Structure 1
Amino acid sequence: MDSLLYALCAVIGGVAFAYLLPLALRHPNPARTAITVATGSFTVGIAIANPVVSDVIDRVMGLPNLARVIAHGYAIVIAASAEAMLLFLALPAEQARPRVSRRIVASAIAYGGMVTLWLVTYAVAPTARLTVDFARVPTVAAYLAIYLSAFVAFTVDIARMCWWFARVAGRSWLSRGLRITAVGACFGLAYCVNKALYLGGVWLDVEPIGVALYIIKHGDVDLYVGFMWRHLK
């Protein structure tokens, strides 16, 4: 069932990307470029995250967790691109560019740290997975902490900006799309909190009740639907 859901999301993302890419090429602007990058990243990232696909990638490449690291990288690109789009919509380009550049640099540093920790994990604990179940491995815990911290920073900003812009936009397609996006970002934030609690539970030998799978699925979809609603009007 999970594989089918991932596949469906990838197909929908591919259709949307095929629609947005020609527009971005014919009528380029920073906001449209950002949402096109986010859509393409969503499509590729969720396809790689499909359990069937990720297992094949890891097995063929002979590197455990490779698909997960790649998918997490695309997740960071999605969030960064989404925030870039909002900044370019809200501010003059000359004001938005420095802020977007800072976020790109921060994202690159965070992902570089994640890749480094993955490689160290492979060297010291090759059978460990980059999941909370292996959080007792210090490098896995550090990897997840960086990923969740980056995601929290982006989702808080996206939710805040979308909700504020939705109030300004009035009753329109744009407003509806922004509100759906804000809800999706809140789901993403709840996912991070849930994962953090689960991470702490592993260290404290407590097994919390996890709703992370439900939240991440619905959070990703809500976030994505919000952006598509805003653009496919």
Structure 2
Amino acid sequence: MIQTLHAFCAVAAGVSFCYMLHALWRDRDDPALRYLCACFGLSATSFTLLVPAVWVRMDGLLGVPNISALLAMSSVTCLVFGQQIALQYWTHPPAEARRRARRRMAVCGLVLTAMAVLFTCLDPSVQRPRDFSVYYGHSPYYFAYLVLYISVYTTGEVIIARTAWRHARATENVYLRRGLRFLAVGAWLTLGYSAIRIVNLFGPRLGFDFSHRDEISWVFGNTGSLLTMLGFTFPGWGPRLSLANRWRANLLRYHRLYRLWATMHRAVPEIALFPPRRRIHDVLKLGELEFRLYRRVIEIRDGQLALLPYADEAAVAAEAEAAGRAGLDAAGVRAIAAATAIRTAVDRRRAGLPPRQKPALPAPAGPPGADLDSEIAELLRVSRALSRPAPATHKPPTPTAPPSPCGARPVPRPDDEADAA
């Protein structure tokens, strides 16, 4: 399982590296992007080296047993410093960020040198790609090596977590704020890796052994790393995700309004600017969605306005009063009244009854100050009310003359199309 997790994290880091490299190509003067590219490249390298097959292959290629351990830990050390530097460029003026970056790079160089010296003194001649830390935990050189590595790693993650969380509360950019919070949570989560490593390091010297729990440390470390990748990249692709969600919501609302629109179009065919030839064409057409959704709302309102003189005002008033007594709110009462007006107007028009010259009902409209989203929500409530069975008191008038088709081909009913399909 852990090896699969290493491989998954390596792929995720590689994808993040390519994404950040593309961002750097568009904005080559951004130093934070340069450091983030390096961080994701180092992350992909470290996770790849932890895969046993790659570990053994790299050792054979360089001719040094377990050199992959040093390379992987050195990569993690560099990326921890690189992440701190990237945050400095996000949160400080360029001159101050450069000064802080130089200081961190100097410390990183000293740490890497010390790790290399301690690893050489360890002389890990027995290749242990799966349990390197447990196998060499008794060595004083490895003890010093791991104390140095865990201290730098833990300190760096605490700095990252605190910096990200503090600035997440200060920024007004919602995507940057979420990204920083993902980053902070991921950094705090990696401390579970540090805690288990410290316990495994000092446990044998204090008389207890938790080496059999070593794999749990990787769950904390890898999960935290995935969240930090998400945090650093989210400000870039988060807005696109919101646009995709908006498009999906508009698509659902557009098709949920079809039944109401079709009712309007069968009664008043001239409302349609671009009437679909068949329902399937309306379903498969995905372009210009916002325009088509806007047109659908306008055409439904035009249909309501055209049918208003035919509506049975007494039936509308009675249904609205009944809805109020049933405890519906103002929006629900308006939806019931509008659905009753449409139902009675269609029946009266089909029966050939003449329209009223001065209808007493107000022109159809949403709540005061409504925007397009409120209009759509109002019409969806009307559509649901219209789809319910007509009340028992509703008696369609007897036709006195054949209805006028107005020279337009009616839109198929949704139920008919479902049967045909």
TM-score (norm 2): 0.52
Whether the 8 Å CA contact 1:198–1:207 is kept in 2: the answer is yes
* Distance in 1 of aligned mates of 2:147 and 2:141: 10
Letter in 2 for 1:45: S
**Which residue number corresponds to residue 56 of structure 2?**
55
**Per-residue CA shift, 1:15-63, capped at 9, x if unaligned?**
2222221331341211111111111111222112222211221234332
**Which residue number corresponds to residue 220 of structure 2?**
215
Secondary structure of the residue aligned to 2:207 is: coil
Report the CA distance between 1:200 and its aligned residue: 0.5
* Distance in 2 of aligned mates of 1:136 and 1:8: 31
Matched, 1:13 2:40: no
* Distance in 2 of aligned mates of 1:8 and 1:190: 20
* Distance in 1 of aligned mates of 2:48 and 2:39: 14
* Distance in 2 of aligned mates of 1:7 and 1:128: 20
Letter in 2 for 1:7: A
**Which residue number corresponds to residue 175 of structure 2?**
173
Secondary structure of the residue aligned to 1:126 is: coil
Structure 1 range deviating more: 136-145 or 222-231: 222-231
TM-score (norm 1): 0.91
Structure having the higher Rg: 2
**Which residue number corresponds to residue 197 of structure 2?**
195
Whether the 8 Å CA contact 2:180–2:231 is kept in 1: the answer is yes
Report the CA distance between 1:132 and its aligned residue: 4.0
Letter in 1 for 2:235: R
Report the CA distance between 1:13 and its aligned residue: 2.1
* Distance in 2 of aligned mates of 1:50 and 1:230: 30
**Which residue number corresponds to residue 32 of structure 2?**
31
**Which residue number corresponds to residue 98 of structure 2?**
97
Structure 2: 5+ residue stretches without partners: 239-421
Task: Please list, as runs of the form range in 1=range in 2, the aligned pairs for 1:22-171 lying within 5 A after superposition.
Answer: 22-28=22-28, 29-122=30-123, 126-127=125-126, 130-170=132-172
Report the CA distance between 1:128 and its aligned residue: 8.0
Report the CA distance between 1:10 and its aligned residue: 2.0
Structure 1 range deviating more: 191-200 or 59-68: 59-68
* Distance in 1 of aligned mates of 2:152 and 2:174: 31
**Per-residue CA shift, 1:75-114, capped at 9, x if unaligned?**
1121111111110011111111111111111111111111
Letter in 1 for 2:125: P
More helix by share: 1
* Distance in 2 of aligned mates of 1:100 and 1:132: 34
Structure 1 range deviating more: 38-47 or 59-68: 59-68
Structure 1 range deviating more: 207-216 or 68-77: 207-216
Whether the 8 Å CA contact 1:128–1:134 is kept in 2: the answer is no
Whether the 8 Å CA contact 2:190–2:222 is kept in 1: the answer is no
Letter in 1 for 2:15: V
Question: What is the RMSD computed on CA atoms of the aligned residues?
Answer: 1.9
Report the CA distance between 1:193 and its aligned residue: 2.0
Secondary structure of the residue aligned to 1:206 is: coil
Secondary structure of the residue aligned to 1:232 is: helix
Whether the 8 Å CA contact 1:135–1:203 is kept in 2: the answer is no
| Aligned residues with identical type, % of pairs | 27
Whether the 8 Å CA contact 1:132–1:202 is kept in 2: the answer is no
Report the CA distance between 1:170 and its aligned residue: 4.2
Query: What is the count of residue pairs matched by the alignment?
Result: 231
Structure 1 range deviating more: 188-197 or 137-146: 188-197
Counterparts in 2 of 1:229 and 1:22: CA distance versus 1, 3 Å: closer
Letter in 2 for 1:127: V
Report the CA distance between 1:204 and its aligned residue: 2.2
* Distance in 2 of aligned mates of 1:197 and 1:3: 22
**Per-residue CA shift, 1:123-160, capped at 9, x if unaligned?**
xx633865144222110001101100110121010000
Whether the 8 Å CA contact 2:158–2:187 is kept in 1: the answer is yes
Secondary structure of the residue aligned to 2:190 is: helix
Secondary structure of the residue aligned to 1:64 is: coil
